[in-house]
Structure 1
Amino acid sequence: MKELEKTKRISIALTLFILAILIGLLTFKRPKNTYAINTQETLHKITNTNVLVTLNSLENPNYIPVDVRSPFEFEKGHLENAINIHTPDILNEKNIAFFNELKATNKTAILYGNTPQDANVPFVFLYQLGYDNIKILTIENSYAQNKLVSKNYEVETLKTDIRAFIDESVKNSEVKVIPKKIIQPPKKIIPVQKKKKKIPEGGC
């Protein structure tokens, strides 16, 4: 009788466990946005591709300026025909649909903020998601008499060959270092002098 009760309990527990797994599988939702390329590949592509454009290049009809600043800053002043997509909202469904539409129509999104650094984070997010039709506008925005003043921003370029530096570092790390033998000083041996036996005094 006890064995039968144990079997029933195990069966009920097993049934509940299977039900829990089935409910979990049915309610599981895949993330809306998944990275198409990893960080290493992204950095490789960015460094080998011209992703920067100047203010003069905006005349291109396929370029759509996207202002990543806050709505407040956008209202204060923005570039002509610019669309405001604040950085924290860059991955919203509406905005992702917008970037998908740009890619489908072979248009390029030109991200900009007050400086090029403001556009770096949204650029890397979108690039890793597979949007290779985006660039960064190298401008600096300021205000004069409540009017937006935009001018080209000089982006510092590296004069050194980073690839050669990395190769040289790897080459140097392959050099085998022969460990030096540690010579220990000889141990000092202190001789122990034997005590002389005393001759007993007196006696015949």
Structure 2
Amino acid sequence: MKELEKTKRLSIAAVLTILVILIALLSYKRPEHLYTVNTQDTLEKVVNNNYLITLEDLNQENHVLVDVRNSFDFNKGHLDNAINITSPEILEDDNSRIINKIKEENKTIVLYGNTPNETTLPYLLLSQLGYDNLKILTVKNSYNQNKLITENFVIENNATDIDAFIQESVKNKEAAMKKLKARAIPKVQPTPKKVIPVKKKKKMPIEGGC
């Protein structure tokens, strides 16, 4: 009887486990946004300045201006024909549909804010999601008597050659390793143990009897 009860309990536990797994599989929802580009490739892309454009480079037919500032600043003044998609809301359903539509139309999304720094986060986020139709407008926005003033923002070029820096670092590391090997302390030979001979005691002659 006890063995039968144990068998029933094991069967019930197995059924419950299977039900839990099935419920988990049925309730699993695939994430809407998945990264398709790894961080390393994105950073390599950011190293070059091909994604930066100025006001003179704007093409109204092929470019769609996306203002990433908050709605207050946007309503206060914005560039002509720009749409407002704030950075925190860049992945909301309505905004995702707009971004996808722009890509389907083979147009380029041009992000801009008060400074190019405001566009860094949405640019990197969309880049890792696989959007390659992105540009950043290098402008600075300010207000004078509630009138928007937009002017080109000069971004300093990075004069550092990253590949040369990496190669130089490798060379320095190899040179440092060679120096360490040259300064390596020689192994200390163990001191031989001195063997002190033990003198055997002479046996005393046995005295004779009476």
Fold in common (TM above 0.5):
yes
For 2:34, give the aligned amino acid.
T
Aligned counterpart, 2:5: 5
For 1:83, give the aligned amino acid.
I
The structural deviation recorded for 1:171 is 2.4
Instruction: Tell me, in whole angstroms, the C-alpha distance in 1 between the residues paired with 2:26 and 2:174.
Output: 53
For 1:180, give the aligned amino acid.
A
Instruction: Tell me, in whole angstroms, the C-alpha distance in 2 between the residues paired with 1:75 and 1:48.
Output: 33
State the SS of the aligned residue for 2:12.
helix
The structural deviation recorded for 1:45 is 2.2
> Bigger shift: 53-62 or 65-74?
53-62
1:42-79 CA-to-partner distances (Å, cap 9, x unmatched) read 11123246000001122341011100000111000000
Aligned counterpart, 1:197: none
For 2:111, give the aligned amino acid.
L
> Bigger shift: 58-67 or 108-117?
58-67
For 1:116, give the aligned amino acid.
P
Unaligned runs of 5+ in 1: 185-204
State the SS of the aligned residue for 1:32.
coil
| TM-score where L is the length of structure 2 | 0.83
Instruction: Tell me, in whole angstroms, the C-alpha distance in 1 between the residues paired with 2:135 and 2:40.
Output: 19
Instruction: Tell me, in whole angstroms, the C-alpha distance in 2 between the residues paired with 1:43 and 1:86.
Output: 23
Quote the sequence identity (%).
Answer: 54
Aligned counterpart, 1:128: 128
Instruction: Tell me, in whole angstroms, the C-alpha distance in 2 between the residues paired with 1:73 and 1:120.
Output: 18
1:14-48 CA-to-partner distances (Å, cap 9, x unmatched) read 10000000000010011100001111011112324
* Equivalent residue runs for 1:131-142 within 5 Å: 131-142=131-142
For 1:56, give the aligned amino acid.
E
Instruction: Tell me, in whole angstroms, the C-alpha distance in 2 between the residues paired with 1:147 and 1:57.
Output: 23
1:44 aligns with 2:44: yes
* Equivalent residue runs for 1:1-204 within 5 Å: 1-48=1-48, 50-175=50-175, 176=177, 177-178=180-181, 179-181=183-185
Aligned counterpart, 1:190: none
For 1:4, give the aligned amino acid.
L
| TM-score where L is the length of structure 1 | 0.86
Q: CA RMSD in A?
A: 1.6
For 2:147, give the aligned amino acid.
K
The structural deviation recorded for 1:163 is 1.4
For 2:170, give the aligned amino acid.
V
1:144-176 CA-to-partner distances (Å, cap 9, x unmatched) read 010100000000111121210111112222332
The structural deviation recorded for 1:183 is 9.9
State the SS of the aligned residue for 1:56.
helix
State the SS of the aligned residue for 1:59.
coil
1:101-151 CA-to-partner distances (Å, cap 9, x unmatched) read 111111000000000000000000000000010110000000001010000
Instruction: Tell me, in whole angstroms, the C-alpha distance in 2 between the residues paired with 1:69 and 1:13.
Output: 55
Instruction: Tell me, in whole angstroms, the C-alpha distance in 2 between the residues paired with 1:48 and 1:56.
Output: 20
The alignment of Structure 1 onto Structure 2 pairs a total of residues equal to 184
